[in-house]
Structure 1
Amino acid sequence: MGTWGAGNFDSDTAADHLGALADRLVSEVTEAMAGDPVELEPDEYWGTSVPCNLELLLLLVRQGWVGVTLPSPEVIRDWREVFLGVWERTIDDLGPDAAYKDERRVVLRETFERLAEAAEGGASL
């Protein structure tokens, strides 16, 4: 195994570990997107966890560590359409404040788009 620095993520083993972690985050999102759309509703586990996973992936990619790979930008944008489609169809059932709804929509769109842009920058499979 190679080591190229003294940092916690400066070795082949660390890159393998980080890759496994990133792969888990991507796999969870992939499975959620392919699963029952009810599970993506805003008050369901994956309705909250999918954007969290995307944000975590973005944080990891921005570190520049070896081992983190992302799906293609097209896949991420397809996820966005699926996720936001479910969100738009179901958010009103929860009776949110109009300002919250508008702000949350912007945050969700930006989360997917920032990750897609990161994938365009070379962190894609």
Structure 2
Amino acid sequence: MGTWGSGNFDDDTAADHLSGLTARLVREVEDAMAGDPVELEPDEYWGVAVPCNLEILHVLAGRGWVGVQLPEAATVEAWKATYLGVWDATIDDLEPGPEYKTQRRAELERTFDQLAEAIRAE
């Protein structure tokens, strides 16, 4: 295909780069979901980084660039169940305020749901 436009993501090399980048983000989430659930707790690295990766993937999905590699929507839904299961079981240990707890959970649900919806819309 070569080059199809003048944009930064309008050629094969950029598509390859984007494919590798998005594959890494997905792989990190896959590894976190398959790993020790303790690592998904709200105050642990992957408890914070997983939603960040999903948000980045959603932004990239919305751009329509060639090369964005996304998981299946059903995979994202399974990740949501796993992640929120850990979150629900452990968030009270951190003694969050009720408003934060409600708002944060809604934000986490939105993060998973919007990516799954974007994937379905492709």
Deviates more, 1:60-69 or 1:36-45: 60-69
| Alignment match, 2:45 | 45
Equivalenced residues, count: 122
| Alignment match, 2:109 | 109
Query: Identity, % of aligned pairs?
Result: 61
Partner SS for 1:67:
coil
Unpaired runs of at least 5, structure 1: none
- Deviating above 4 A after TM superposition, structure 1's stretches of 4 or more consecutive aligned residues are none
Unpaired runs of at least 5, structure 2: none
Cα RMSD, aligned residues only: 0.7
Partner SS for 1:43:
coil
Q: For 1:25-104, what aligned pairs fall within 5 Å after superposition?
A: 25-104=25-104
Partner SS for 1:68:
coil
- Counterpart amino acid of 2:76? I
**Separation of aligned partners in 2, 1:118 and 1:70:** 10
TM-score (norm 2): 0.98
TM-score (norm 1): 0.96
